[in-house]
Amino acid sequence: MSYALRFRDLTLGYDRHPAIHHLSGEISQGDLLAVCGPNGAGKSTLLKGIVGALKPLSGAIERVNCAPRDIAYLPQAADIDRSFPIRVYDLVSMGLLREVGLFGRIGRDLRVRIEHAIEAVGLAGFEDRPIGTLSGGQMQRMLFARLLLQDASVILLDEPFTAIDDKTTTDLLDLIARWHAEKRTVIAVLHDFDVVRRHFPKTLLLAREKVAWEATAVALNGDNLLRARRMVEAFDTAAHECERAA
């Protein structure tokens, strides 16, 4: 088995306060993995650690068969500045940065690739639109077009289907299935268990530590979900009591 990522007793957090602790396991090349758990479980923190935006407090993340430049990351929609004055075409073209650099020339062949990516996500005709005029679903389509151009071997998606319409969700799930068929590794933070059960064969269930990491049908059984919720609630209660004592 060839691994894309390996976690060795990994602890991640902020200001030396752990958000995930003592996580160990491997993600195989070509895995289609959902990361689930209650609010505050550390799901987004894990993606930030993988992409290198957050350094481990202890333990390690081993990028076994991929360099950081081979990882594409789609943050939560709330992290995107929609007021930035940029066109759809220009933002999508940023997916080529690692190929051409910040000031590299985009020739005819690359322009064709940009146009194909925009068309592939159903945004043909939107090239000159300011991104601030897009709906939530159109915004996600645009960001998936940028991911297409990055051509990465590992793709990280943080809540990609939040507040978008059903048609967009279906189209983007089809694109994820295409990436999976191409043997790319896709890791997605998701809240909709129905979507996870239908489309993601493996699930990591987090509650600041690993609750389950296995086939989705087993990971998301009722006992595991109840345990995850109670673990996060217990952590939050203990943290609140510590704050009051301080």
Provide the residue ranges of all domains of the chain, joining segments of one domain with +: 3-245
- Eight-class DSSP state of 159: S
pTM: 0.91
> Is 241 buried (19+), middle (13-18) or exposed (0-12) by CB count in 10 A?
exposed
Residue 104: per-residue pLDDT: 66
What residue type is assigned to position 100 of the chain? V
Mean pLDDT in residue range 215-222:
98
Question: pLDDT by residue (tens digit) across 73-101?
Answer: 999 876 778 888 999 999 999 999 887 76
pLDDT(201) > 70? yes
**CA-to-CA distance for 37 and 190, rounded, in angstroms?**
8
Which of these ranges, 52-66, 92-106, 141-155, 215-229, has the smallest mean pLDDT? 92-106
The answer to whether 180 and 29 have CB atoms below 8 angstroms apart is no
Q: How sure is the predictor about 69, in pLDDT bands with cuts at 50, 70 and 90? A: confident
What residue type is assigned to position 38 of the chain? P
Residue 131: per-residue pLDDT: 94
Mean pLDDT in residue range 179-196:
97
Residue 241: per-residue pLDDT: 41
**CA-to-CA distance for 93 and 200, rounded, in angstroms?**
29
pLDDT(170) > 60? yes
Mean pLDDT in residue range 15-27:
93
The answer to whether 92 and 114 have CB atoms below 8 angstroms apart is yes
Q: How sure is the predictor about 203, in pLDDT bands with cuts at 50, 70 and 90? A: very high
Here the tokens at position 7 are 């976690």
Residues β-bridged to residue 202:
33, 215
Selected from 3.40.1380.10, 3.40.309.10, 1.10.287.610, 3.40.50.300, the CATH number assigned to the domain covering 3-245 reads 3.40.50.300
Residue 17: per-residue pLDDT: 86
| Between residues 160 and 70, the one the model is more confident about | 160
The answer to whether 190 and 159 have CB atoms below 8 angstroms apart is yes
State how far the alpha carbon of 188 is from the alpha carbons of 128, 154, 156, 221, in Å.
Answer: 30, 11, 6, 19
Q: How sure is the predictor about 240, in pLDDT bands with cuts at 50, 70 and 90? A: very low
What residue type is assigned to position 190 of the chain? L
The answer to whether 56 and 10 have CB atoms below 8 angstroms apart is yes
State how far the alpha carbon of 215 is from the alpha carbons of 138, 161, 163, 200, 205, in Å.
Answer: 32, 22, 27, 9, 11
Instruction: Write down the number of H helices and E strands in the chain.
Output: 9, 9
